[in-house]
Amino acid sequence: MQSMNLGAGYDTFSYRQPKWAANLQIVELDHPATQKEKRAHFMDKGLKDPDNLAFAVADLENDSFGNALANSPMDLRLPIWISCLGVFAYLRKQTVHGIFETVAGLAKGLASCSTHSIQYVMGTMKLNLEGIKAEAAAQRRMDQHPTVLTKVEMTYEIKGAGLQADSVEKAIRMAEEKYCPVWAMLKKEVEITWKFFIV
**Cα–Cα distance for residue pair 168/129, rounded to 1 Å:** 10
- Residues 6 or more apart whose Cβ sits within 8 Å of residue 148: 77, 140, 141, 189
What pTM, to 2 d.p., does this model score?
A: 0.55
Q: Which CATH topology does 2-104 take?
A: Rossmann fold (3.40.50)
pLDDT in tens for each of the 199 residues of the chain? 789 999 999 999 999 998 888 888 999 999 999 999 999 999 999 999 999 999 999 999 998 887 888 888 887 666 678 888 888 888 988 888 777 767 666 777 788 889 989 999 999 999 999 999 998 888 877 676 555 678 889 999 999 999 999 999 999 999 999 988 788 878 877 889 999 999 9
Which of 100, 123, 76, 110 minimizes the C-alpha distance to 180? 110
Provide the residue ranges of all domains of the chain, joining segments of one domain with +: 2-104, 106-198
Q: Which CATH superfamily is domain 106-198 in?
A: K homology (KH) domain (3.30.300.20)
Which of 140, 135, 134 minimizes the C-alpha distance to 186? 140
